[in-house]
Amino acid sequence: MVRSKRSRKRSSQSQEHQREELVWRKVDLHLHTPASADYQQPETTFLDILRRAEERELDIIAFTDHNSVAGYARMWRIIEDLELLEHLERINDSEAHELAEYRRLLNKILVLPGFEFTATFGFHILGLFPPETSIRKLEYVLLALNVPEDKLDIGSSEVGATTDVLRCYEVLRENGAIVIGAHVNSTHGIAMQGFPFGKQTKMDYTQDPNLHALEATDLENPGRRTTLRFFSGTKAEYPRRMHCIQGSDAHRLTKDPDRETNLGVGDRPTEMALAQPSFEAIRELLESSSFDHIRPARPATIGAEFIREARKQGDTVSQSFHERLATRRTKSNSVLKDITALANTDGGTLFIGLKAAEDAPIAGVSKPDNTLERLAEDVQNYISPSLDISADSFEIDGKSVIVMSIPEGSEKPYTLGSGEIYVRRGDKTSIASRDDIVEMVLSSTMDTDDSSSSQSQKSSSSAGSSAANTQGSNGRKPDIPKDNVPRPGTGVELIETDKRDGETFYTVYDLRNEKVVPNVTRSSSRSLWRYAITQEEDTTFNPKKVEWNGKFGVIGRRKQGNVHRFDLVYSENDKHHIFYGVTLKGLSKDWNQVIQNSSFAPGDS
């Protein structure tokens, strides 16, 4: 289904009685107030925060001060005092205006009470509660979490709490809260990098059934090594697919001009497809498997600047441009192919009415409303299963263009027409390979019951039995290596070899998309895989010829067009892990340093 602001206004009564319509609501569920001790603009008022939320077009916000609900309580005390003055007919004009503003804004924006709790080891957990929850109950929960009574109002992130993360989840859930791991991939996050806690602990903290969602700071980052990808339910040790949201974690009213990451109200919001802007609707969504109903918020005004920035990037793995919509309404429509491909890959944005080249004239769409209706019908008629996307028209240089947001689908693979399956490869849409299809089927099977690992294993086994050549020579589908080797984010690694009937078969670990593919031969493989196999078969690895920097080493470099590719090696316990065809993009500090300090640095010939 295509959701459009325009098409919603014209929804038929027959559609309305079938189900309550979902609308994309913009939420920011991680906002501090001056009640937090580390708030950077203490002169800010609660009206200032509400007005800023209105400016950022937020539908729902949450006050989440550190280990305290003093800010939320203070706002309602102010309102109650003003209402008492009004009741006694002793209110002056200034106070009457202030009360009217509170009423207007609170009628427009839902404010949820909550707090950011500091568990043992300094991990931060968000607890959000229904708006009718009393202050007394909220403070009771904080006391149950071992926040000292004399520190309930100081708003400090360091109150000496002694409650374990898992016990925190349990207490919050028992008291009706939505439980979210705060900024999990960053400082004080339950999935932060570099913290010395075991893999089992990290699995427990991020997969616990009492945890509703993970808040991450990298949802809009490109590439596959993101929080959303990691917790997609495709890893055997993390079988539960997690809802991932983002929040501003605002400790000030507006963004710090001197520090881009120091955000203000509504600077990093999430959009949720909700029937109503309510606590219950959010909780229902986070307890469902509707993963495509959550996305990073689109800009408040897409407008010319957003579209021009997209044109500078051109066609990519996550966006595609079409100057015009084909006049013939068929399943072979290139726009529908791209929609299907994006849903089968990582989601993205599709533009209609202009070319990708930023200096090309904009053709525009002459009848945007009609085009939106046609797109909605075509998506419904030609793409299966049903796909939930949003679309709207925007003005740029006096022309109307269509912008469509396509989520990563939760029921892959999506097919077009009589069964064609497409995926995005780089900036192109291509027919899905057999390996692509098998991976999508296995991933969707695991998602059908992500709360039960045994059911996931059963489903994987069943799907695997119908895909024999995705299994290794021992009859099992090979796993992604579960070691602590710091692999680069691009290139490939050959992790297993097997000789059968005089031919060598390799298991390839493609680091670009974290796929493990068995039964690959030199003659049947893709170009980068073929290069790795050729190097493996035609050259002899000699550690003495490696330029080492500790455990990290550079074997060689080649140039492909304007791109430098490196063969790298990591040594651990007398075992050498070789990574072929690695590019500089996305390299960690350690890998980048060893390359730059070697004779193979790109500046050298």
With respect to residue 520, please indicate whether it lies within any of the assigned structural domains: yes
126: CATH: 3.20.20.140
Please say if the pLDDT value at position 561 is more than 90: no
With respect to residue 216, please indicate whether it lies within any of the assigned structural domains: yes
Residue 302: band (very low, low, confident or very high) from pLDDT cuts 50, 70, 90: low
Which range has highest mean pLDDT (198-207, 344-353, 393-402, 536-545)? 536-545
Distances in Å between the Cα of 177 and the Cα atoms of 212, 213, 241, 349 are 9, 12, 20, 34
Residue 456: band (very low, low, confident or very high) from pLDDT cuts 50, 70, 90: very low
Q: How far apart are CA 29 and CA 118, in angstroms?
A: 17
Other beta carbons within 10 Å of 178? 23
Backbone φ, ψ for residue 535 (5° rounding) = -60, -40
Specify whether the CB–CB gap between 581 and 528 falls below 8 A. Answer: yes
pLDDT of the residue at 133: 97
With respect to residue 302, please indicate whether it lies within any of the assigned structural domains: no
Which range has highest mean pLDDT (176-185, 260-269, 476-485, 499-508)? 176-185
With a pLDDT cut of 70, the percent of the chain lying above it is 85
With respect to residue 248, please indicate whether it lies within any of the assigned structural domains: yes
Contacts of 261 (CB under 8 A, 6+ apart): none
188 and 279 in a single domain? The answer is yes
- Residue with tokens 């027919």, as numbered in its chain: 431
With a pLDDT cut of 90, the percent of the chain lying above it is 51
pTM, two decimal places: 0.58
Classified as helix, coil or strand, 354 is: coil
Q: What is the mean pLDDT of residues 362-386?
A: 89
pLDDT of the residue at 332: 56
Q: What is the mean pLDDT of residues 600-605?
A: 69
- Cα dihedral: 365, 368, 374, 379 (round 10): 90
Please say if the pLDDT value at position 87 is more than 90: yes
265 and 211 in a single domain? The answer is yes
With respect to residue 144, please indicate whether it lies within any of the assigned structural domains: yes
With respect to residue 447, please indicate whether it lies within any of the assigned structural domains: yes
Please say if the pLDDT value at position 176 is more than 60: yes
Which of 58-62, 170-174, 456-460 has the weakest average pLDDT?
456-460
Per-residue tokens: 234: 């495709």
271 and 329 in a single domain? The answer is no
The distance of Cα 383 from the centroid of its chain, to the nearest Å, equals: 24
Please say if the pLDDT value at position 30 is more than 70: yes
Specify whether the CB–CB gap between 69 and 36 falls below 8 A. Answer: no
Decide which of 2 and 135 is more confident. Answer: 135
Residue 474: band (very low, low, confident or very high) from pLDDT cuts 50, 70, 90: very low
167 and 199 in a single domain? The answer is yes
pLDDT of the residue at 562: 67
pLDDT of the residue at 521: 82
Average pLDDT in the chain: 84
pLDDT of the residue at 358: 80
Q: What is the mean pLDDT of residues 484-495?
A: 90
The DSSP-derived string for 229-240 is: HHTSS-BTTB-S
Residue 552 pairs with which residues in a beta bridge? 549, 570
pLDDT per residue over 589-599, tens digit each? 889 889 999 99
395: CATH: 3.30.950.30
487 and 453 in a single domain? The answer is no
178 and 289 in a single domain? The answer is yes
Domains in the chain, number: 4
44 and 123 in a single domain? The answer is yes
With respect to residue 134, please indicate whether it lies within any of the assigned structural domains: yes
Per-residue tokens: 218: 């990298």
Per-residue tokens: 67: 């280990």
45 and 171 in a single domain? The answer is yes
Find the DSSP H helices in 262-367.
279-286, 303-313, 334-344
Specify whether the CB–CB gap between 114 and 129 falls below 8 A. Answer: yes
For 328-469, where are the E strands, in sequence order?
348-352, 383-384, 389-396, 399-406, 415-416, 420-425, 428-431
Buried/exposed code over 457-470 (b: 16+ C-beta within 10 A; e: otherwise): eebbeebbeebeeb
pLDDT per residue over 304-363, tens digit each? 777 887 888 788 878 899 998 876 665 558 999 999 999 998 788 899 999 988 888 999
Specify whether the CB–CB gap between 317 and 346 falls below 8 A. Answer: yes
Type of residue found at 413: P
With respect to residue 304, please indicate whether it lies within any of the assigned structural domains: no
183 and 197 in a single domain? The answer is yes
Radius of gyration of the chain (CA): 27
Please say if the pLDDT value at position 461 is more than 60: no
Q: Helices 70-87 and 46-55 sit at what angle, rounded to 10 degrees?
A: 100
393 and 452 in a single domain? The answer is no
> What is the domain range of residue 422?
310-431
pLDDT of the residue at 468: 32
417 and 442 in a single domain? The answer is no
38 and 178 in a single domain? The answer is yes
pLDDT per residue over 209-246, tens digit each? 999 999 999 887 655 578 988 898 878 888 899 999 99
Backbone φ, ψ for residue 220 (5° rounding) = -100, 10
Burial class of residue 259, CB neighbours in 10 A (0-12, 13-18, 19+): exposed
β-pair type (348-352, 319-322):
parallel
